Every structure is written in structure tokens, then in C-alpha cells.
Amino acid sequence: MKPSALRGLLKAAARPGMISFAGGLPAAELFPVDRVEAATKAVLRRLGGNALQYGETEGVPELRQWIARRYSAGYLQLTVDNVLVTAGAQQALDLAGRVLVDEGDRVVVENPTYMAALLAWQPCGATFVPIAADDCGMKVDALSPLLEPQPKMIYLIPNFQNPTGVSIEAARREVLIDMLRGRKIVLFEDCPYSELRYDGEPSRSLLELDSPPDEGGHVVQAGTFSKTLMPGLRVGWVIGPRALIERMGRAKQAMDLHTGTFNQHLALELLNSGYMEEFGPQLRQAYRERRDAMLDALHEYFSQNARWTTPQGGMFIFVTLAENIAAGKLLARALERNVAFVPGEEFHLDGSGQNTMRLNFTKTSPADIGKGIRRLAEVIRGS
């Protein structure tokens, strides 16, 4: 098991006065604390000590039912048996590795990709096979030669990917699903950012495009309330075929028995009280302003030295510097100037990405975003 370079970086990024673009963190000042306090009291009044008791491994049934209804669409009709509540989406990744991946199994991943997925599956013995991506997402036309020998799993973040912020276009989604028909390959669709859309129209999820989970579907979809409610709850979920969900539940039981009962009831209380409908638009507006502030600052200070993605949602902008600039070597000087970022090479499997960096825009105020990008530009010019 390898340590996460990002987790170590976040310790330095937490210093007083630091402008951090490093972690994928929500804006804590936007959490509606009063609303959470009221929901906490409501849960305790309604359930008393039962809200503080041990619970079912699969999760609070009413919360599983809410998730099943939320993600049912057309012929895709989910039940509670298709849903397992997890300790954040990260646990869904861990459980998928424990249940699906054996030593030497091939897992196809985008390059660059979310580093914590790699950390979850490396101890299981996964062999990662990178596939290139561009501004329209995974290059599915390059997938065919990677399907022989057949991989165990394909992993991707289709919406506002981490680290690049790009989304897979609708046509590529349909081609990808068609390529999997007749093959025993699990497609792990990681969807932590799907609710954070600021522009454009959403594409159908891979779960919707595929056959239903219990009728030969390939897709296992993970989600989380960490980006829309709050990460401190550590409440996420995974949707999949009943047989697989049952196996993942057994693995979870050995791991932690169940996700925190009170946190699940608190999330459900917030959801049932209209929290998402009221708070969601406010959150998206605030994050849209921060994204635009970062894009404006990049145009002002980086236009001669770099290019970058323009995400329609999510939390990240991915910057590509001149080829002779190593972002990893800039980090120490950037930290001295009280600004932090994540070098992009951390997300690449093939040693590329030395001249790239991931920038988070959701945690920082628009004013500090401008200051931080200016500092980064000064560090680059001084390299």
C-alpha cells in the first residue's frame, strides 16, 4: 500500500495564510450549519435512541429507497436491493476491489485518472491499463485493442472528471456501452460530481444507457453526498446488480459493520426536508462564480504560458504548462509563496504529465483565487 501524495500535501496546504487549490474540498463557509442543527434535533426527536443504534450493513432502508428512486429512469427501475450505503464513494471503490479484483486482473483507466482509485485497487493486485482522454473524455475508439485479453473492469469518471474536469460526450458513452455487450466486463461509473453542473445539458449516465443491473447490465455506479451535502457525514452509495451488492455488503460487514446510523438518518432528514432543492442552486451558483474567477485569472496571468480545460461543472481545472516546465519542481516554491496545487504527474500512470497541475476552485473565495493564480504565475515566471 502506497501513501497518497495528495494527503501529505494537504497537511502543508492547511497552514494559516495558505491559498490552497490542492484538495477537492467543498467550501466550508457554505455549509448551512443552522439547517444541519435543526435536522439533528428533528432526527433525535423522531427516532430517539434508535438513531444512535447499530444498523443494517446495507444501510438505512429509507435512505436506500430514496437513492433507488432518485436514480431510476425509464426502463431502469432500481430497488433497495440494488443499493448499498457506503462510507463515502471511496469505500465503494475499496469494496469493488475486494470483491472483483484478483491478483493480476487488468483494469482499464483513463490517463490521467483519480489517484485514490489506484490506491484502492493496487493492494488487490490490479494491473492498470491506461487509455488516453481528450477534451471529450475517454477516447473510446482506442479501447478495442485493450479488451484482449479481457480486462476485469473499466473505471471512469464520466462527468467533470478528476483531475481534468472534462466530461465524456454523449456519443462516446453510447459507443462504450455497445462495445461491452456480450463481454463479462464491469464498468465502474464513479459519479461524485454529477450534481455540480454549471453549464450545458447533462448526458445520460452509463447506468441509464446500459441494460438494467439485474438483466445483464455491466455498470456499477458510485455516488456520494460529500459534494452536495457535506463530506463530514461520510455517506455515499454504490448501485449494481443484486448479487454483486450482496457480496459487497458481506465485504463491508467485515470492514466496518455499517455506515454510521446517525449520519444516514441526518442525510435522509435533510433530503426529505427539501435541502437539495433549496441549497443545490445556491451551491452551484457559488461554485460557478469561483470557476469563472479562476478561468478569468488564468486568462489574465497564464495566457502566455499555458492552456487549460474549461469544465462545465465539478471542482477542477487542469492546466498544461510549457513542456520544459516541471510542475512538481515548482511546488516547493509555490508553498513558500503560500499557494498550493497538485502536480498533474500524480494522476498519470505512464510517467507523463510532468508539466501539468490540477487546480481546485470550490474551496477558495473569488478574491483569493485571483491572488493565488497571480502568485502561481510569478512562481512559473521565476522558474
List the domain boundaries for the chain: 5-30+277-381, 33-272
Domains 5-30+277-381 and 33-272 belong to one CATH topology = no
What's the N-to-C CA distance of the chain in angstroms?
A: 34
CATH code at 5-30+277-381: 3.90.1150.10
Q: Tell me, what's the pLDDT at 9?
A: 73
Q: Is the peptide bond before 163 cis (omega within 30 degrees of 0)?
A: yes
Q: Is the peptide bond before 158 cis (omega within 30 degrees of 0)?
A: no
Does 28 or 303 have the greater pLDDT score? 28
d(CA 82, CA 68): 7
List of residues 6+ apart from 141 with CB closer than 8 A: 175
Q: Tell me, what's the pLDDT at 2?
A: 56
Domain 33-272 - what CATH class?
A: alpha beta
Q: Tell me, what's the pLDDT at 259?
A: 98
* Chain segment 64-115, per-residue pLDDT in tens: 999 999 999 989 999 999 999 999 999 999 999 999 999 999 999 999 999 9
Query: Measured between alpha carbons, how far is residue 267 from residues 44, 159, 228 in Å?
Result: 13, 23, 11
List of residues 6+ apart from 295 with CB closer than 8 A: 308, 310, 317
pLDDT for residue 336 is more than 70: yes
- Please, what's the largest Cα pairwise distance for the chain? 62
Alpha-carbon dihedral angle through residues 8, 382, 337, 365, given to the nearest 10 degrees: -90
Which residue type is seen at 57?
T
pLDDT for residue 345 is more than 60: yes
pLDDT for residue 1 is more than 70: no
Q: Tell me, what's the pLDDT at 286?
A: 98
The grid coordinates of residue 118 equal 489506484
pLDDT for residue 378 is more than 90: yes
d(CA 373, CA 292): 13
d(CA 219, CA 34): 38
Mean pLDDT of all residues in the chain?
A: 94
| DSSP classification of residue 345 | G
Average pLDDT over residues 320-337: 93
d(CA 222, CA 190): 5
Residue 300: Cβ within 10 Å count = 12
d(CA 180, CA 290): 38
Which residue type is seen at 83?
V
> Do 157 and 347 contact (CB within 8 A), yes or no?
no
Average pLDDT over residues 191-214: 96
pLDDT for residue 270 is more than 90: yes
Which contacts qualify for 274-283: CB closer than 8 Å, 24 or more apart? 275/32, 275/35, 275/39, 275/229, 276/195, 276/228, 279/32, 279/35, 280/195, 280/228, 282/30, 283/30, 283/196, 283/228
pLDDT for residue 11 is more than 80: no
> Do 39 and 269 contact (CB within 8 A), yes or no?
yes
Q: Tell me, what's the pLDDT at 7?
A: 65
In this prediction, what percent of the chain has a pLDDT beyond 90? 92
Grid look-up 511546488 returns: 331
* Chain segment 148-199, per-residue pLDDT in tens: 999 999 999 999 999 999 999 999 999 999 999 999 999 999 999 999 999 9
Average pLDDT over residues 201-209: 96
- Confidence class of residue 8 from pLDDT cuts 50, 70 and 90? low
Picking from 71, 161, 152, 63, the residue whose alpha carbon sits closest to that of residue 105 is 152
Helix (H, G, I), strand (E, B) or coil at 247: helix
Q: Tell me, what's the pLDDT at 52?
A: 97
Query: Measured between alpha carbons, how far is residue 189 from residues 220, 240, 286, 308, 332 in Å?
Result: 6, 10, 27, 25, 35
Q: How many helices (H) and strands (E) does the chain have?
A: 12, 14
* Chain segment 350-371, per-residue pLDDT in tens: 889 999 999 999 999 999 999 9
